Amino acid sequence: MRTAALAALAWLLAAPPGASAVAAEAVSAQPAQSAPAAHIARALPQARLAGQGGYSWFGLKIYHAQLWVGEQGYRGGAPEAAPFVLDLRYQRALDGASIAAASVEQMRKIGAGSAAQRQAWLQTMERIFPDVQEGTHISGAYLPGAGARFYLDGKALAEVPDAAFARAFFAIWLDPASSAGELREALLLDAAPRR
């Protein structure tokens, strides 16, 4: 029973379909400015918190997400233009293989990549994503034109040198077609470039 419940929760990790029981909630109208964790500051000089929000399913908190941007911010019309870091702090124990499967399913739903690419990406994510517990942080740094770098609780986890994978992975949360529209809005609250 516990395994089935965890698998169902893991399926929801990467912004599940917009069922009425699924809710994303903005933490506040304006994100509180806090200092980035050391690994985020190293990956993204001059990092600032653009937005944050929680993701719940049937009242169960799944994870809390934060989007960190640099001075170039995040531009929806050119998401590949600048680096950023998406940090997920899990509020439930989830199986790494299920996280990978949920991520690929969400990539498929937003039309990212071909079937062959998604199969290769699934294998990559199954290899690198660990099982998580309540309080585990997985941070993903978007490296424009180069790929993505992942951190587990602030320590280097893996680098994926595939720009198409990186665009597809972060689109799960940031693409206008994301299944988690409210969470997307909360993450992008203050993401515009600053001059």
Answering whether pTM is above 0.75, one says yes
pLDDT at 57: 77
Domain that holds residue 149: 2-16+24-73+81-187
Q: Is residue 122 domain-resident?
A: yes
SS3 assignment, position 61: strand
Largest CA distance in the chain: 53
Q: Is residue 194 domain-resident?
A: no
Low-confidence ranges of the chain (pLDDT < 70): 1-33, 195
Token pair 């992975």 in the structure block, residue: 169
Q: Is residue 67 domain-resident?
A: yes
- Please state the domain count of the chain: 1
Cα of 78 vs its chain's centroid, Å: 18
Q: CATH code at 135?
A: 3.50.70.10
- Residue 156, H or E segment: strand 155-160
SS3 assignment, position 88: strand
pLDDT at 32: 52
